[in-house]
Amino acid sequence: MRRGNLEEAIRAYQTARELNPDVLANNRFIGLELGGRVDPAVYYEFGLVFARLGQLDLCLLYLKRAISAGFDDYEKLISEPEFQKFKDEKVYQEFVRLHGVVE
């Protein structure tokens, strides 16, 4: 994902999920944590993958983790077309309100 190949990342995730449906449901994903901390951009990218897959709950889970880990580029978050498709969903609206993301 860091190389910008989101389509490949989605295919890899789908394969991993076929093998283990809970593969990304927690922080115990190989390579996610480096040096005791997680790069907020990694969580953001996972949120983007889940948005592409239409999985709002997991998308928001990883966006929350990104913010908790220090992600603060709210302009990027609100302008991302993949997230905008959820803007009419109440749970997305609540996420935006709770995290102080201004649209």
Distance separating alpha carbons of residues 36 and 48, to the nearest angstrom: 23
CB 41 within 8 A of CB 70: no
17-74 confidence digits (pLDDT tens): 788 766 655 555 544 555 567 788 888 988 998 898 898 998 999 899 899 889 999 8
Question: Domain coordinates of the chain in residue numbers?
Answer: 6-98
- Going by pLDDT thresholds of 50, 70 and 90, the confidence category of residue 15 is confident
Full-model pTM: 0.69
Positive or negative, the CA dihedral 85, 88, 91, 97 is positive
Buried b (16+ CB within 10 A) or exposed e, 77-91: beeeebbeebeeeee
Q: What are phi and psi of 37, to 5 degrees?
A: -140, 155
Residue 28: CA count within 13 A, CB half-sphere: 3
Q: What is the chain's Cα-based Rg?
A: 13
Q: What secondary structure does DSSP assign to 49-89, as a single string?
A: HHHHTT-HHHHHHHHHHHHHTT---HHHHHH-HHHHTTTTS
